Chain A
Amino acid sequence: MLRRIAGSLFWAARYLERAQWRARLVDVNYHLMLEVPPRDAEPWEPLVRITAEQELFATKHSHASEASVIDFFIFDKENPSSIRNCIESVRANLSPLRHLISSELWLAVNRLYLETQGWSAQALAAAGVSAFFADLQRHFYTIAGIIISTMPRDLTYDLIEIGTMLERPDNVSRLLDVKYHYLLPRLEDIGGPADMRQWSAVLRSASAFEAFRKVYGNAIRVNRVVEILVFDPAFPRSTRFCIDRLALALKRISSREEEPASEDPPCGELLAMLHAGSADQTIAEGLHEFLIGVEAGCARLADHVFDRYMSLE
């Protein structure tokens, strides 16, 4: 496989994951606002913080309202990470390599792309926000299902896996970090109803709410949320799960090489942090520092993957 194509697969997977993630963030926030009218002045502001886009956002909108955030997250053609642009990037990356992916996958991505062509704030209002997101998520799950059920487990699949598994923990880390350190700054509110609502929104944003309930029941506690989103070996959006899968994919790729790599990919440190760590200990020692460590580890891995398999230099 061409190195350029390897890069395209990797980025297609990342953008797909990113689009789905952003859709879930907006969806959850919207429904949270419906149930409990917020007391905060800017209930939509944290979303822009979670995606670290405050700067770009500020150049376009004076404050974070429902309308401005939805526009920025979903429709904005000038925001490279808007869902519309993410989907366009997925398609643009996959279009030249239709021979590598299943035709079902191409058709599903193209269908989603064609749908985005008709997107507008008016169309969203007409369809209703709930229906819009339900439909969008159905597209994403269809695509994910097609990848799992039609793609041979070869290099193409492994590169998609690597892109997905690098993007996902990045997003979850940011979400945790923002919730833990920036929202609800008053100490006396911790453990209160607003706090609980926010943590349950965090779980829902990571599609972890039901999985959480199965393991821990109804009582939402910070350490348990961190446990399932970071350290859980079985939950498919936990950081540990993603890095485990990533390490396996890298191993499969290197086992196919004629001259196997002289050194192991730099997953060791990250794996050790995630396998040995626990939520209680991490919170005691500083969740923020830990999450920064995870982000740095993911960045090192991304560099490694790029240099070894994608760079044209």
Chain B
Amino acid sequence: MDAQRAGIAVPGWRAEAAELQPLNEMFDRQGRPRPECARVIAYLLAMESRRLAELGERAHRMFQTMGVTFNVYGDHEGEERIFPFDPIPRIISAPVWAGLEAGLIQRAQALNAFVADIYGAGQIIKDQVIPRDLVIGSPQFRHAAAGIQSPCGVYITVAGIDLVRGADGRFHVLEDNVRTPSGVSYVIENRRIMTRLMPELIRGLRVSSVENYPAFLLASLRELAPRGVADPTVVLLTPGPFNSAFFEHVFLSQQMGIELVEGRDLVCLDHKLFMKTVHGLRRIDVLYRRIDDDFLDPVVFRPDSLLGVAGLTAVLRAGNATLANAIGTGVADDKGVFAYTPAMIRYYLGEEPLLPIVETYLLRDPAVRETVLRDLDRYVVKPTGASGGYGVVIGPSATDQELAQARRRIEAAPAEFIAQPVFPLSVHPTLAGAVASGEAALVARHVDLRPFVLLGEKPRVLAGGLTRVALREGSLIVNSSQGGGSKDTWVLEE
């Protein structure tokens, strides 16, 4: 099956896309405030330069006092940092959000249907909509998931879908995160900070609340309980304090009022899952896990893992507990499979995709590869197996040496890479300046958006999501592990 027949993208001469001026989300091309941003801009302009400069510092202090941190991998393992926060809010108008919300639900449902199908009948492969070897060969495909049923057909309970806004103003999907997406705690904490920094403004604008996310998540998780369990016990499984997202695990368990467990707290007996409490063993019905498949169950996956619990897969197979997200959902956010997601939406839902994706070229196809390698400096190359911005090569800003290295890697293992045209990520005014000098200025920095979609008996979407901002001038990488920060995202109600 060739790429064109499947309706997926092949690269052409698209140099103009990269050279388009990125969209500024607050000001139009003539420099006039966009209508939905007018009040925020007026508010900021009315503020003294010194007070504006202090906003960032005040926010930083609040995060510190509250202990809102993330851990960094690498040289200083386990070191705590504050996720840099930019106090200039990002505004999304009601009609734009309504369109996004529908597109996000559509997408999450199609990805979920794909996971159910892949580990069930495999119809989409039989119908040749997606190549079998691409799916089975994905590093995220898990044989152990085959045949494990979910009570209400939900495998992807939580999806974080990364969107970027193009020069045309449309949001495009950049990638999906349907394993253990993180970042939602910052959405909620950012809002708490902003309600203290700019209370009058938030009240005046009618900003959609984000407070309800933990309740939404808990409701979705409870709906996944094995049939017949009236009052299910839900717990959150964390790898522990050294994980980069540990703060979020603490935060969510606290907000949902559920236990935060580690593998060593759990035990499987008689195909049932229990936690070890002060007063004996207690049965668990739903496990919201924030550890990767490979570490879940040493019997089935990595035998050296101490993070999971032996026998978990057998418990799930027996239907005595539900795992969220299910084992093997990563096959749906594989960067190669990504190219087929529009086809998936048409296949499972019989609908046209509401959200376009950033064109994605599979380098396993020799013709595609040849075209991309000819102009490697025009593309973004991503390894299919990594996340968090690791291993990404951005052609236009890469050195010759980096490009040569990328070329060698692609040629050695073409199936492990995809390429995308350089996408002109929108920019957003962002605070720059020093408190000491009292000088503050707003500068344009690239942003993306990660909304969160929950699937249960019905879909639920958090209003807005996590806006990540590349704090370095010109940088297109927004990941927190790569020097990115975040902004509060304000979805305005009608």
A residues apposed to B, CB below 8 Å: 1-6, 92, 95-99, 106-107, 110-111, 114, 155, 253, 256-259, 309-310, 312
Contact = CB atoms under 8 A, between A and B. Distances in A.
B109 interface: no
Contacts of B277: 1-3
A215 B64 CA distance: 46
Residue in B259, B262, B278 with the greatest tally of chain A CB atoms within 10 Å: B278
A159 to B, nearest CB: 8
Interface string B61-72: 000111100000
Interface in B230-260: 238, 241, 246, 249-250, 253-254, 257, 259-260
Nearest to A109: B67
A4 B265 contact: yes
B234 to A, nearest CB: 14
A3 B246 CA distance: 20
B457 to A, nearest CB: 26
16 contacts: A1-B278, A2-B259, A2-B276, A2-B277, A2-B278, A3-B265, A4-B262, A6-B278, A95-B67, A111-B65, A114-B64, A155-B278, A253-B278, A310-B278, A312-B264, A312-B276
B29 to A, nearest CB: 45
B419 interface: no
Given A99-B250, A111-B65, 13 more contacts: A1-B279, A3-B277, A4-B276, A95-B250, A96-B238, A96-B249, A98-B254, A106-B67, A107-B65, A110-B65, A110-B66, A309-B278, A312-B264
B250 A98 contact: yes
A258 B279 contact: yes
B220 to A, nearest CB: 20
Interface of B is mostly: mixed
Nearest to B67: A110
A5 to B, nearest CB: 8
B216 to A, nearest CB: 18
A97 B65 CA distance: 17
Nearest to A1: B278
B478 interface: no
Contacts of B403: none
B261 interface: yes
A257 B278 CA distance: 9
A258 B278 CA distance: 11
B343 interface: no
A99 B253 contact: yes
Contacts of B164: none
B275 interface: yes
A256 B66 contact: no
A99 B278 CA distance: 17
Contacts of B278: 1-3, 6, 155, 253, 309-310
Residue in B241, B253, B277, B280 with the greatest tally of chain A CB atoms within 10 Å: B277
Contacts of A110: 65-67
A305 B265 CA distance: 18
B241 A92 contact: yes
B254 A99 contact: yes
Interface string B260-275: 1110110000000001
B275 A107 contact: no
Nearest to A111: B65
A216 B370 CA distance: 94
Contacts of A3: 265, 276-278
Nearest to B251: A98
A96 B260 contact: yes
A256 B65 contact: no
A87 to B, nearest CB: 14
Given A4-B264, A99-B257, A107-B65, A256 B279 contact: yes
A305 to B, nearest CB: 10
B484 to A, nearest CB: 24
B64 to A, nearest CB: 6
Contact of A257 (B246, B264, B279): B279
Contacts of A106: 67
Contacts of A253: 278
Nearest to A100: B254
A114 B246 CA distance: 19
Contacts of B262: 4
A24 B269 CA distance: 49
B279 A107 contact: no
Contacts of B246: 96
A2 B65 contact: no
A95 B279 contact: no
A304 to B, nearest CB: 14
B70 to A, nearest CB: 13
A191 B1 CA distance: 99
A114 B65 contact: yes
A97 B241 CA distance: 11
Nearest to A4: B265
B279 A2 contact: no
A312 B64 contact: no
A212 B65 CA distance: 39
Nearest to B267: A312
Contacts of B238: 96
Contact of B250 (A1, A96, A312): A96
Nearest to B246: A96
Contacts of A2: 259, 261, 265, 275-278
Q: Would you list the 6 A-B pairs with minimal beta carbon distance, nearest first?
A: A99-B254, A110-B67, A3-B276, A309-B278, A1-B278, A6-B278
B235 to A, nearest CB: 9
A27 B243 CA distance: 38
A9 to B, nearest CB: 10
Contacts of A312: 264-265, 276
